[in-house]
A = this chain, B = another copy of it.
Amino acid sequence: MIKVGIVGGTGYTGVELLRLLLRHPQVELSVITSRGEAGRRLDDLFPNLRGSTSLCFTDPDQSDLTACDVVFFATPHNVAMQSVPGLIERGVRVVDLSADYRLRDVAVWEQWYGEPHTSPELCASAIYGLPERNRNAIASAVLVACPGCYPTSVQLGFMPLLQAGVIDASQLIASSASGVSGAGRQAKVANLLTEAGESFKAYGVAGHRHLPEIVQGLSAMTDGAVGLTFVPHLVPMSRGIHSTLFARLTDTSADLQDLFEACYRDEPFVDVLPAGQSPETRNVRGANTCQLAVCVPQGGDTVVITAVIDNLVKGAAGQAVQAMNLMFGCDETTGLSGIALLP
């Protein structure tokens, strides 16, 4: 059994991680910390967990995470980097779901997050936890930086085209839309049902923190310089991300359907839809799947890719468990085979 600790875990990423780990046949959940909820039963905060665990949150200062085989950080940015170096020193492997180690360039991180990075030395060695790109590196990683939710959908959507070199990487456009759980379980007026319900808006048009992460990821897939315009939107629903990607084809002769199917043929969690279909976020609600479709409208020179994930699963907790499975030699799909809930 893999002894698992969780830091944080009072947010939506946390409860989703609990949902998955509490049913994972090779995991023993040892400890979960929360400063604000220390002493409270998990299932008191999250009543969907009643009957599945009797654990309580513990104070991080009084919790021994060093006895764990792996620790997940389901925290806001700027928390993991305080503790990760110490854990790694003591031989604990880390899966960080926050943004702390996603960017290799510390200066870029500091620019977008507006504060100094306190463990910059680990940024270069952290493995970016997108299995479809880095499967082997993840397997042997000490520290995995899980991709953000938008970046997962955008990178998986552009990857086959960039790797094949059939699009102009300098003029990419990503118009993405997320359910409200992407904003976290925090008391903000903007995310009330009465504010976010029955409405649709773009936000962060001038610049969103996931932009440099996506650009870093796409750049690794191509020789050319990547130019990306990324506009996220808020959808009146709880879960799901949908990315609509636009690129100019430099080679209009390629069979893009074939290209996508070949690229993802062996991937357990990427599903290329038959030509002519479009993915819906509900197809993957609660599942670790990324569903994709590719289309060239009117046979022109612009390709449109649509990609959906559950932002809390393939965009966060599920992908983190997938990384853990790789790190500990489990079958990659262990604990992740639940079918999406429809309707």
Q: Does A114 contact B (CB under 8 A)?
A: no
Determine if B339 and A202 form an interchain contact, defined as CB atoms under 8 angstroms apart. Answer: no
**B229 to A194, Cβ gap below 8 A?**
no
Q: 9 smallest A-B Cβ distances: which pairs?
A: A199-B282, A48-B340, A201-B280, A175-B175, A187-B187, A48-B342, A194-B343, A193-B193, A47-B283
Once A193-B191, A286-B341, A304-B231 are accepted as A-B contacts, the answer to whether A201 and B278 lie under 8 Å apart by CB is: yes
- Residue interface mask A282-300, B partner, CB < 8 A = 1: 1111110101010101101
Q: Name, among A23, A206, A277, the residue most crowded by chain B CB atoms within 10 Å (CB to CB).
A: A206
Report the minimum CB–CB distance from A302 to chain B (whole Å). 5
CA of A186 to CA of B195 in the docked complex: distance in angstroms?
Answer: 11
Interface residues on A, range: 35 or more
Q: Does A51 contact B (CB under 8 A)?
A: yes
Chain A residues close to B by CB (< 8 Å): 12, 15, 19, 22-23, 46-52, 171, 173, 175, 177, 179-181, 183, 185-189, 191-203, 205-207, 227, 229-231, 233, 235-240, 242, 244, 246, 248, 271, 273, 276-287, 289, 291, 293, 295, 297-298, 300, 302, 304, 306, 308, 337-343
Q: So how many copies of this chain end up in the complex?
A: 4
CB of A67 to closest CB in B, whole Å: 25
Q: Specify which of B22, B196, B206, B298 is in contact with A295 (CB 8 Å cutoff).
A: B206
Could you show 21 A-B contacts with beta carbons less than 8 Å apart? A19-B339, A46-B342, A50-B271, A171-B248, A173-B246, A194-B238, A197-B198, A197-B236, A198-B282, A198-B285, A198-B343, A200-B237, A202-B244, A205-B297, A205-B306, A206-B297, A207-B297, A230-B297, A236-B237, A246-B246, A285-B341
